[in-house]
Structure 1
Amino acid sequence: MRGAGLARSRPPLDVEVIAVPKALQGLRRTVRRYLDAPCADVQLCVTELVGNVIRHVGEGVCVRLRVGRTDGGRIRIEVTDPEAGALPVPVPATADDETGRGLALIDAVTVRWGVEQGVEKTVWCELAQSE
């Protein structure tokens, strides 16, 4: 993975998928099988990151999901989409808002997260290995 050295024991999960709401359930299941353990926080991050692509870049774009374990014992999730300029921006959500909490959730359950820009954009986050 780009920002961190991966543990050499197992190659990262690396899948491309068309970003549509129906794909989210399959991605959560794929991640759970790859990690072979309960992984609610990892699944939440995958759902939020791919969901942000659907909402802010558009349905039907191709995204790349990578999940792997780093040398430091963390689980790293990366979601890459073709819109380098559509950056994630945390926004404060009021009690009555039905959207706008995704990045706050990611910030709450991860050790760190960020964005890498190039021709494409990759939003990544890292979680402690055990939930």
Structure 2
Amino acid sequence: MNEQTGHPAFRIQLSATPRGARLARRLAVAQLADWGWPYGCPVSDTAAHLVAELAANAVRHGRVRGRDFRLRLVLLDHGRALRIEVTDPRPERLPTVGHHAPDGESGRGMLLVEALAERWGTDAGNDLCTKTVWCEISSPAVCGLT
């Protein structure tokens, strides 16, 4: 439970490595299952894609040697919405949409976030030494129902 908002929340700090990014996705899916969205349901699948992309970006573009990244999941509006937040120590490196080489193998991740999330954005940390990239999706009360 988030002490500030009273909403159910999950938060974990992970190493800024590919292994940490993979773990973020797995832990997010496990937490969603605890909240009632089992592996394979639309909410779980969408959230898994979003967490994977945001965590990979934190590791690839937001990494500072010796600093971790944070994953936070928050249920909003009595469980009708899910907010995903990934915080990294590189406030100067903001994500962009659509700036990639047409034949490149990377650079399309935020297009995926924009397509899957209802909204997304960034926030600077209180200390201006971090940034949080967040997104929100609707989450029906029971898996498979809208």
What TM-score, normalized to structure 2?
Answer: 0.76
SS at match of 1:87: coil
Q: Number of matched residues?
A: 126
Specify the alignment match of 2:112 in structure 1.
Answer: 105
Specify the alignment match of 2:131 in structure 1.
Answer: 121
From the CA coordinates, give the structure whose radius of gyration is larger: 2
**Are the counterparts in 1 of residues 123 and 133 from structure 2 also a CA contact under 8 Å?**
yes
Question: Whole-Å Cα distance in 2 between the matches of residues 24 and 83 of structure 1?
Answer: 16
Specify the alignment match of 1:13 in structure 2.
Answer: 10
Q: Residues 99 and 6 from structure 1, CA distance in 2 versus in 1: closer, same or farther, beyond 3 angstroms? A: farther
1:1-131 correspondence to structure 2 within 5 Å:
7=7, 11-36=8-33, 37-38=38-39, 39-58=44-63, 60=65, 61-71=67-77, 73-118=80-125, 119=128, 120-130=130-140
Segment of structure 1 superposing worse, 105-114 or 94-103: 94-103
SS at match of 1:98: coil
Aligned amino acid, residue 123 of structure 2: E
SS at match of 2:46: helix
**Are the counterparts in 2 of residues 76 and 125 from structure 1 also a CA contact under 8 Å?**
yes
**Are the counterparts in 2 of residues 6 and 71 from structure 1 also a CA contact under 8 Å?**
no
Structure 2, gaps ≥5 residues long: none
**Are the counterparts in 1 of residues 24 and 55 from structure 2 also a CA contact under 8 Å?**
no
| Amino-acid identity (%) | 34
What TM-score, normalized to structure 1?
Answer: 0.84
Structure 1, gaps ≥5 residues long: none
SS at match of 1:107: helix
Aligned amino acid, residue 69 of structure 2: V
Instruction: Note the C-alpha offset of 1:129.
Output: 0.6
SS at match of 1:76: strand
